[in-house]
Amino acid sequence: MTLTAIEIKELIKKKIPDAIIEIEDIRGDNNHYHAKITSSAFKGLSKINQHKLVYNAIGHHMGTTLHALMLTTSDN
């Protein structure tokens, strides 16, 4: 079982409600994604901490039902 782009967006939105999210299935296999996320929650955070927020939103799915997620994050 894998996560769809819609399911990934829903997980992120639950933890980061103002997030603007674009997700691309980079291999066409519903298992390797690139997510571009903009949120005011990232303001003042390092890229590492921005990415941690996203990974925390995805939770236990990362590495199980979601194999790979490349992130591009921004606060504006």
Confidence class of residue 4 from pLDDT cuts 50, 70 and 90?
A: very high
Round to whole Å and give the CA distance between 52 and 49: 5
The answer regarding whether domain 5-69 maps to CATH 3.30.300.90 reads yes
Element spanning 6, H or E? helix 5-15
Whole-number CA gyration radius for the chain: 11
Query: How many CA atoms does the CB half-sphere of 49 hold within 13 Å?
Result: 7
**pLDDT tens per residue, range 27-73:** 988 889 999 999 999 999 999 999 999 999 999 998 888 989 999 99
The encoded tokens of residue 74 equal 């921004």
Q: What's the average model confidence in pLDDT over 9-34?
A: 95
Rounded-to-integer distance, Cα 45 and Cα 62, Å: 21
Q: Is 76's pLDDT higher than 90?
A: no
Domain ranges of the chain: 5-69
pLDDT at 2: 86
Q: What is the pLDDT of residue 67?
A: 87
**What pTM was computed for the model?**
0.91
